[in-house]
Amino acid sequence: MTAPQSSASFNPAREDFLAQMLHGLEASQHVHVLRTDQGTAVIDADHRPGSRVAVISGGGSGHEPAHAGFVGQGMLSAAVPGDIFSSPPVSAVLQAIRAVTGDAGCVLVIKNYTGDRLNFGLAAERARAEGYTVETVLIADDVALPDVAQRRGLAGTVLIHKLAGHLAWEGVSAAEIAQRAQRVAERLRTIGLALEPAHVPGEADQAEEKPAHPGPAGGAAPEAVARHAELGLGIHNEPGAHNVVVTSAAGAIEDVLAGLQLDAPRDASSTEAAGSGGSEADQQLVVMLNDLGGCSAQEGLILAGALAEQVGTHRISRFLGPSRFMTSLDMHGFSVTVAPADAELIAALDTPTLAPGWRTPTVPGAGLSASAEAIAPSTAAEASAAEVPATAEGRIEEAVLAACRALVAETGPLDELDRRTGDGDAGTTFSAGARTVIDAIDQGHLGFSDPRAALGAVAGLLESRMGGSSGVLLAILCAAAAHDLAQDSAHAEWASALGAGIEAVGFHGGAAEGDRTMLDALIPAHRALQQGASLRAAAQAARDGANATADLTARAGRSAYVPAEAQSGVQDAGAVAVAVFFEALAGQLE
């Protein structure tokens, strides 16, 4: 797959990429960038060659935070970066060895790519000739291409950074670190999946457009958009195993886990290493979810949820991510790495480090407790609503139902109004609240024989079910109104209660009449009722107030951030919703 140049990027030209990135790295991390004619190395600013083993890794740039982001106490002593997707020169690796290696020697952690193997290997030989003790660990965790003899080194490399760095700080010898790290490395498995390849600075857009996945017969739009993805796409845009069609995060995770074959031993050597402690299916796992560079934070969390569910939290000893451990510039994809959770690896993962790129692992489910279950058997709103009987004649209930149904009917027009000055969901939000009240009345859970209890129940329902700022504001209105009401419906002072609710909304919401909010309909309606006008007259006052918002500039709510010219001539959706409610209420009661 050929990578296109992104049309929107802050990246400089390819020839300036490494220098500018290292400049930022040095400004933002506790490292020293060693620049000489032989190349560049990133050194832990606190590292002093001495009795501890130094751990060194590196490779082409474009995979950050790997490897320079893992330089720091408890992980790497140095990282050697090359140009984008290019191995660093032998001289740069040798320079790093000389800079950080003392009498205890060093361990080189090498990804299994030809350039890395050769350049790090030759640097190791030259360093040995100079008298340094140098051990190497080779990472080949990619299992996407089982028929390829030379498996690639992927995000599992970072786990070996952590293990080797931990052992070095524990005072383990270089030879022993290499032996233990290699044993773990041979049991790592990683597979990536990408929707889009990396966009490499300076390369022309040559990507072939993937064919759209056809929808169902009859031309109906599918519920989920189907997209083609490449399973096993390499971190240098090398071809993967094959294309797959994904419609969801769960489906993408399923494809990756099928390739990882969690319950099968990777090879004979790993079977021996597993010992006699049970089958692979019984083993606890370390699971890493790695963002390849282009996933949003939200996508990462959704993928994490699907991954934990499909692997099973009971099998996951430590979960790392979602986070960027080893990226491929802005590749829109992710990789999953799994490893048997042996005690030494777990101890290493749990030990703190100063490396800025590291993400502390979690233990899935550890935060759950019986106390959480005890506080959420049901909502207070549901409990109180169930206790409020209907009035004998049912007039108030029928009026409220009519008003709520009117709001549901206006979902589309209200959304369209809101779309012109906000995020376009006002109708949907008011409809959600209305449907909640309709359901409660229809199911016999909500009546108005006790107005105070009824409005208190409505407040709870709107708070928990309506959503958005409007839901909270209307819940405040109902709660404050309930506090003002008498318990007997025959003696309820509805105008006074509405005034108390409006006052609370203004106080907590920070808005007043004229600020282009729902108050511009509520306050005129309340004013009319206070003056002894009919409910129909109050509804007309609410409509007039809503219409007047077209000439107002918002000073509260999300619309306050919308340019005034965009608001001109457009009514506030919340005020219109209030007018719709009052008009339907009046039509039923008068």
240-256 tens-digit pLDDT: 888 999 999 999 999 99
Q: What is the DSSP letter of 527?
A: H
Over 50: is that where the pLDDT of 526 sits? Answer: yes
> What CATH number should be reported for the domain whose range is 14-199+225-262+281-350?
3.40.50.10440
Strand ranges in 121-253 using DSSP code E only, listed in sequence order: 134-139, 189-196, 227-231, 242-246
Indicate where the chain has its CATH 3.40.50.10440 domain(s): 14-199+225-262+281-350
With bands split at pLDDT 50, 70 and 90, how would you rate the model's confidence at 424? confident
Helices 343-350 & 174-185 angle (0-180, nearest 10): 110
Strand ranges in 30-105 using DSSP code E only, listed in sequence order: 31-36, 39-44, 54-61, 78-84
- Among the residue ranges 6-15, 65-74, 239-248, the one predicted with the least confidence is 6-15
* Euclidean distance between CA atoms 88 and 248, whole angstroms: 38
What is the CB neighbour count within 10 angstroms for residue 127?
21
Identify which has the larger pLDDT, 350 or 215: 350
* Euclidean distance between CA atoms 181 and 167, whole angstroms: 9
- Among the residue ranges 5-19, 249-263, 342-356, the one predicted with the least confidence is 5-19
Identify which has the larger pLDDT, 210 or 409: 409
Over 80: is that where the pLDDT of 343 sits? Answer: yes
Q: Say if CB 66 and CB 96 are below 8 A apart.
A: no
Q: What is the mean pLDDT of residues 524-533?
A: 95
Q: Point out the residues that are catalytic.
A: 236
Q: Compute, in degrees rounded to 10, the torsion defined by CA atoms 539, 496, 459, 522.
A: 30
Condensed to tens digits (0 to 9), the pLDDT of residues 434-467 reads 999 999 999 989 999 899 999 999 999 998 899 8
At 146 the pLDDT is: 82
Over 50: is that where the pLDDT of 80 sits? Answer: yes
Indicate where the chain has its CATH 1.25.40.340 domain(s): 380-589
The angle formed by the CA atoms of residues 124, 129 and 130, to the nearest 5 degrees, is 95
Over 60: is that where the pLDDT of 28 sits? Answer: yes
Condensed to tens digits (0 to 9), the pLDDT of residues 389-415 reads 878 788 999 999 999 999 999 999 999
Identify which has the larger pLDDT, 159 or 12: 159
Q: Say if CB 286 and CB 292 are below 8 A apart.
A: no
Over 80: is that where the pLDDT of 75 sits? Answer: yes
Which residues does 537 contact at the CB level (< 8 Å), separation at least 6?
Answer: 528
Phi, psi of 392 (to 5 degrees): -60, -45
Structure-block tokens of residue 381: 């709103």
State the chain's mean pLDDT as an integer: 87
Task: Give residue 392's identity as a one-letter amino acid code.
Answer: A
> What CATH number should be reported for the domain whose range is 380-589?
1.25.40.340
User: What is the pTM assigned to this prediction?
Assistant: 0.71
Residue 476's Cβ-side half-sphere holds a number of Cα atoms within 13 Å equal to 16
At 298 the pLDDT is: 96
Over 70: is that where the pLDDT of 220 sits? Answer: no
Q: What is the mean pLDDT of residues 211-235?
A: 60
At 423 the pLDDT is: 76
Q: What is the mean pLDDT of residues 78-103?
A: 95
At 213 the pLDDT is: 37
End-to-end CA distance of the chain: 70
Using a pLDDT cut of 90, give the percent of the chain over it.
69
- Among the residue ranges 177-191, 396-410, 479-493, 495-509, the one predicted with the least confidence is 479-493
Q: What is the mean pLDDT of residues 499-512?
A: 93
Over 90: is that where the pLDDT of 177 sits? Answer: yes
Structure-block tokens of residue 177: 């670190």
With bands split at pLDDT 50, 70 and 90, how would you rate the model's confidence at 387? low
Condensed to tens digits (0 to 9), the pLDDT of residues 546-582 reads 999 999 887 776 676 677 777 788 899 999 999 999 9
Condensed to tens digits (0 to 9), the pLDDT of residues 271-315 reads 343 333 445 556 899 999 999 999 999 999 999 999 999 999 999
